[in-house]
Amino acid sequence: MRADRLVSLVLLLRQRGRLSATTLARELEVSTRTVLRDIDALSAAGVPVYAERGRHGGFSLLPGFRTELTGLNHDEALALLVAGSRRGAQAFGLGSALASAMLKVIDALPESHRDAAAGLSERLLIDPETDLLSRRAPADEVPDAVVAEIRRAVLAGRRLRIRYAAVDRPAKWRTVDPIGLVTVRDRGYLLATRSGADRTYRLSRVSAAQTLPEAARRPDRVDLDRTWRERSTRFRTGGDQIAALVRMDPLRRRELVDTALAVLDEETDADGRLRLEVTFQDARHAEWALWQLATDAEALAPQWLRDSLRDRAVTIATRYGAAVSVDG
């Protein structure tokens, strides 16, 4: 509805300051012509929005302008309440704050919407702690004090000292310029730079953190989604990656694809099984991923991967092949 879009436009200008017509069109998912018509409609309604021309121009609200934008509709309130059930906020130490915010959202709703929205949100569950087989989804655990300190540095734009343990390495202190925080499948990451180079730190590997008084050396604005995609791409295409040819049950395809870095090629054999060429970060990653699939997947190449999986299977078979006394 146009009324909802006009409210969103005002909120964007209030929260982000001057924005170009192109940026507004992208955020609102409309054409620039529609944005210009909406700007005219707001001006006619008395909203003090004005244009600044030039290379860095755009649209802004008169400084100090405030207005009450009340009236969440039914679906908007439901979306907020359902979002409050997600565990992603826990990764940033915001679980209690999110719960408090949800109570305020409910309290601010008209009474006619309040009971309906709260009741319907009970019918929708996102990312439960276990699946149907009672397998608990792995989630990183980060001390509240550590994640709170990291969050403080990120939001305040201050430099940060962290005691970080990289894989198979002892923990050591390092000073970074924090850019933002990202959570993916209940795993939290700090995006930062160190001595000007891009760095991505997993929060569960940070044992201590200290906000420094000096300002972080970072851009004033950041497109965190794009930054994450770019770093993810570099991660998948860098390092000592290996490629493996795997023949597998199509019903387990998603599990392999979810853990592999990339799928380079895929075809279906005459018997219906899939043949995929996939890449892994390193040998340990490849062996772990294929071991999870048991007999539903077979590594055809490289030979060292087949040998490694065979040796592991032989060790397990030998251990369980011998009789054991349970009488003590």
- The pLDDT score that the predictor gives to residue 127 is 64
Q: Where are the domains of the chain?
A: 2-61, 74-121, 156-237, 242-320
Q: Roughly what angle, to the nearest 10 degrees, separates helices 32-44 and 2-16?
A: 90
d(CA 121, CA 83): 9
CATH architecture of residue range(s) 242-320: 2-Layer Sandwich (3.30)
Domain 2-61: which topology? Arc Repressor Mutant, subunit A (1.10.10)
CATH number for region 156-237: 2.30.30
- The pLDDT score that the predictor gives to residue 225 is 87
| Mean pLDDT per 10-residue interval, the chain, length 328 residues | 72 81 88 88 82 81 64 57 55 61 59 60 62 65 87 92 88 94 83 91 92 92 87 73 93 90 91 94 90 95 96 92 76
* Closest to 234 (Cα-Cα) out of 195, 204, 199, 187: 199
- The pLDDT score that the predictor gives to residue 69 is 47
Q: What is the pTM of this model?
A: 0.54
